[in-house]
Structure 1
Amino acid sequence: MREPRGTPLDRSILALAIPAFGALVAEPVFVLVDSALVGHLGTAELAGLTLASTLLVTAVGLFVFLAYTTTASVGRLLGAGEETRALRAGIDGLWLALAVGLVVAALGLATAPWAIGAMGGTGDVATQAVTYLRWSLPGLPGMLVVLAATGVLRGMLDTRTPLVVAAAGAVANGALNALFIYGFGWGIAGSGAGTALVQLAMGAVLAWRVLRGARRRGVALSPTLTGLGRGMRDGGPLFVRTLTLRVAILLTVTTAATLGEVPLAAHQVVNALWGFAAFALDALAIAAQALVGHALGARRPEDARAVLRRTLQWGAGGGAVLGVVLALLAVPLTALFTSDPLVRGAAAAGLWVVAAALPLAGVVWVLDGVLIGAGDGRFLAWAGAASLVVYLPFLWIVRTAAPRGAGEAPWSVVWLWLAFGVVFMLARGGATWWRSRGDAWLVLGAR
């Protein structure tokens, strides 16, 4: 049976999705602000930021399971009426996030030049990239704690607290970066330092919010080996799923680097705006995660199906609206990032491809959110690997056959984004759509 527009389900979706949007776009907003401020330092700085920020977003994205697993598990436990166990899972998730963040940040600091070189960075571009990376990495533990704490709060159907923290963080990030880059004259290093400080502060605030709630209910604040082990085990399939996505993104960036400095700089502009739109649409996936988790925890599979149907409609519609806005504003938006006319023209061409692909992307992210909420991580891992295999031949075609030269940069960027925004997203969406048509995910989530 179809639910009419404006039903309580619609209101529940929007009540979760709208605040989640603000929290989700924190990282893309950081990248957008950094891109806008650094872009006016020069093309080499903007190209260097492309490489460094891709590695940082990849590091954060690889461990997004810290948010996804806690959202799903806390949601299902609360749906089953087990609040103490839900908070216990959340506390262990915070400790796991802190440990992982410290290890990854240390490894990144030690291997920064090698990592940038492996992505195709050379000369002044590589120097700028390594500088930004090393100044930004100390904030990584804070950002992973943000993920875990946000997951706990979302599972408890609280998306407002992450929204407030994200909004404050975005304002602080812009102010600090402008001060450090232009006020203190630190250049690209100032951008990395400002972002790192804000990420650490956000992590501390959200962790305090979760810990305070747990202490009020008598839940111990120390980690448990059982909980840490469960978090790693449950997060493993989602780690693999996200790894395949991030490998695709990294290979896309390295392909852009082979096309020349102008296409690489233009790709940073397009990718930053794609990230903003992606996280905006992913707010619907977050709503789907929480609502599906609660429905299946309470043994109500018919409600989970209703959430699937409605969020798919919202995902496709939201993607279409964002696509129209992006297509209309493509040219003026590029001026915010660079004054180089070649980069602006190539970026605008890529943004028109992205605009056309956003309705498909909205459906793909919603399907991911529904299956994550049901705890169907193993299928998502296999689907991610299969999608990557489908994508690689198309990426090879772009790398070998796309036109070169500054004058051909718009066509190079169009080829690149047709491969990623259309082919890769179609492969991901096809697999998850097939899964959602059956009942296996409903049975799994109701266990």
Structure 2
Amino acid sequence: MRQASTTARTTPRQHDREILALAVPAFGALVAEPLFVIADSAIVGHLGTPQLAGLGVAAALLTTAVSVFVFLAYATTAAVSRRVGAGDLQAAIRQGMDGIWLALLLGAAVVALVLPTAPWLISLFGASDTVAPYGVTYLRISALGIPAMLVVLAATGVLRGLQDTRTPLYVAVGGFAANAALNVGLVYGADLGIAGSAWGTVIAQCGMAAAYLVVVVRGARAHRASLRPDAAGIRACAHAGAPLLVRTLSLRAVLMIATAVAARLGDADIAAHQILLSLWSLLAFALDAIAIAGQAIIGRYLGAGDTDGAKAVCRRMVQWGIGSGIVLGLLVVACRPLFVPLFTSDPAVKDVLMPALLVVALSQPVSGIVFVLDGVLMGAGDGPYLAKAMLVTLAVFTPAALLVPVVGGGLTTLWWAMTLMMLVRMVTLQLRARSGRWLVTGATR
């Protein structure tokens, strides 16, 4: 239902404080996730270009296997924060527990699917005979950590919905430090090569999941929320997340198509593309910190019936997104000479990487708008629209990417196609935000 605003007007400065209080810790936690892949890339990259290329293909598949279920975090954040806004903490945590149980079930199913099909999945990307064995090794081992990764997503959503982004920061920092240390020790100390990198990541992810469960279970007991699996609640979580699953599958399809095209351009191109994807993910998660704050704040405002507050904080977050995108783009340009040598010493990889980095830098202000509005609509529970908008984006991007080998320009042209994809997303999200149809109030949507 729709209600009039019930709370006092909040000033832009108060919105800034509220956004920063959630976004700054969320930034640290979000940055830690792509840093896992970046650390793996930096360590494995010095083993050789085939190993790095194999990691690139496997990481794209692994990230897809996990990220398609990102609704476990996003939908949970929206649902929990609405109940927080309505003043029902017990129901908020119970909602989160249902999401965690769903994460465990989905994780087990994904592992059962990935392990036997790993060689076929790697072959879909057109990896060369030299690269494929490394990709299969990394994918099979890392898949064992998928249930833990999904639990981390769901538990993170619970805490964000409770307006707590500090605990995820602490867990993420600990997980990144453990991952880096384990990777160095297992890859070089134990001489396990790319397999050591995969095992290090699995161990670190399991440790993070255990830490989150301790925190969430403690909160559930404090508010007398049941820890037992509830079939109806789990089904409700799955139903609420279905549109976001479609949205995320479409986005992952974009990234997989881009990786497949890069693989067919050559080993140097796919290696450089992996480095670019690692950087792009880092920048995206940094911008998404504002969106995470938006999910929690928007959900709470709408749960309390405050539509004016929701609209005001949306406008302010868009301003933050544009400004942050400009700053990040300038940093990419300024840090190019320092960034590239961390990942490769191969001149062929450097040659295709450097011009594409400029395209990534130029696209950051657009990315800032996209990620912020994406977060706002997720916080409002507007999943069906997000699903439709992303399907439109995929329909535009696919032919543009597939034409890259035909029109020429190599990896740089491919990343111009990625920029086109972000522009389409920006237009569709702005149209929805201006319509006001996402402003639905109440403890549930």
Q: Look up the SS of the partner of 2:91 in the other structure.
A: helix
1:424 pairs with 2:421 = yes
Q: Is the 8 A contact 1:293 1:445 kept in 2?
A: no
Q: Deviations over 1:365-393 (max 9, x none)?
A: 00100000000000000001011001112
> What's the offset of the Cα at 1:332?
2.0
**Superposition pairs of residues 52-131 of structure 1, within 5 angstroms:** 52-131=58-137
Partner of 1:414: 412
The reply on whether 1:441 has 2:427 as its aligned counterpart is: no
- TM-superposed CA distance for 1:341, in Å, is 1.4
Mapped to 2, the partners of 1:352 and 1:331 lie a distance apart of 12
Counterpart secondary structure, 1:123: coil
Moved over 4 A (4+): 2-5, 444-447
Corresponding residue of 2:4: none
Query: In the alignment, does 2:244 pair up with 1:238?
Result: yes
Cα deviation, 1:321-373, whole Å, max 9, x if unaligned, reads: 01100111113211000110121232222111100001100100001000000
Q: Quick one: which of 176, 184, 189 aligns to 2:182?
A: 176
Cα distance in structure 2, aligned partners of 1:130 and 1:147:
25
Percent identity among equivalent residues? 51
C-alpha change, 1:159 and 1:91, in structure 2 (3 Å) is: same
Residue from 209, 216, 221 that aligns with 1:210:
216
TM, length-normalised to structure 1: 0.96
Q: How many residues align?
A: 436
Query: What residue is the counterpart of 1:270 in the other structure?
Result: 276
Scaled by the length of structure 2, the TM-score of the pair is 0.96
Q: Deviations over 1:267-289 (max 9, x none)?
A: 01111011001001001100000
- Aligned residue identity for 2:431: W
CA-based RMSD of the aligned residues comes to 1.3
What secondary structure does 1:440 align onto? coil
Q: 1:225 to 1:279 in 2, by over 3 A?
A: same
The separation in 1 between residues aligned to 2:240 and 2:51, in whole angstroms, is 39
Paired residues of 1:376 and 1:444 also in contact (CA < 8 A) = no
- The Cα of 1:8 is off from its aligned counterpart by 1.4
Establish whether residue 35 from structure 1 lines up as the match of residue 23 from structure 2: no
Asked if structure 1 preserves the Cα contact closer than 8 Å seen for 2:89 and 2:223, the reply is no
Q: 1:393 aligns with which of 396, 399, 411?
A: 399
- The answer on 1:297 being equivalent to 2:313 is no
Report deviation, 1:186: 0.4
Corresponding residue for 2:17? 11
Q: Is the 8 A contact 2:10 2:309 kept in 1?
A: no
Inter-partner Cα distance in structure 2 for 1:357 and 1:109? 36
Query: Alpha-carbon deviation of 1:4?
Result: 6.7
For residues 67 and 3 of structure 1, what CA distance do their matches in structure 2 show?
27
CA distance in 1, matches of 2:429, 2:302: 19
Specify which structure has the bigger relative contact order, considering alpha-carbon pairs within 8 angstroms and separated by 6 or more residues.
Answer: 2
Other-structure match for 2:360: 354
Give the whole-Å Cα distance in 2 for the aligned partners of 1:444 and 1:133.
Answer: 43
Distance in structure 2 (CA, Å) of the matches to 1:439 and 1:278: 26
Q: 1:438 Cα shift?
A: 1.0
Supply the distance in 1 between the matched residues of 2:261 and 2:331 (Cα, whole angstroms). Answer: 28
Shift of 1:445: 6.8
Deviation per CA, 1:235-262: give whole Å up to 9, x if none.
0000000010000000000000111111
CA drift at 1:399: 3.0
Deviation at 1:316, TM superposition (A): 0.7
Give CA deviations for 1:114-138 in whole Å, capped at 9, x if unaligned. Answer: 0000111231200000011111111
What SS class does the counterpart of residue 443 from structure 1 fall into? coil
For 1:440, give the aligned amino acid. Answer: R
Report if aligned partners of 1:375, 1:444 keep a CA contact under 8 Å in 2: no
Task: Determine the structure 1 residue equivalent to 2:287.
Answer: 281
Q: Shift of residue 429 of structure 1?
A: 1.1
| Equivalence map 1:243-262=2 (5 Å) | 243-262=249-268
What's the CA shift for 1:3? 7.9
CA separation in 1, counterparts of 2:285 and 2:95?
25
Mapped contact 1:376–1:445 kept (Cα < 8 A): no
**Unaligned 5+ residue runs, structure 1?**
403-410
Equivalents in 2 of 1:349, 1:332: separation in Å? 15
Query: Displacement of 1:201 after TM fit?
Result: 0.7
AA of the residue aligned to 1:427: V
Counterpart contact for 1:374–1:445, Cα < 8 Å: no
CA distance in 1, matches of 2:116, 2:29: 30
Answer yes or no: is 1:341 the counterpart of 2:344: no
DSSP 3-state at the match of 1:442: coil
- Higher mean alpha-carbon deviation, 25-34 vs 287-296, is at 25-34
1:77-126 deviation per Cα after TM superposition (whole angstroms, max 9, x unaligned): 11011111111100111111111111101211111000000111231200
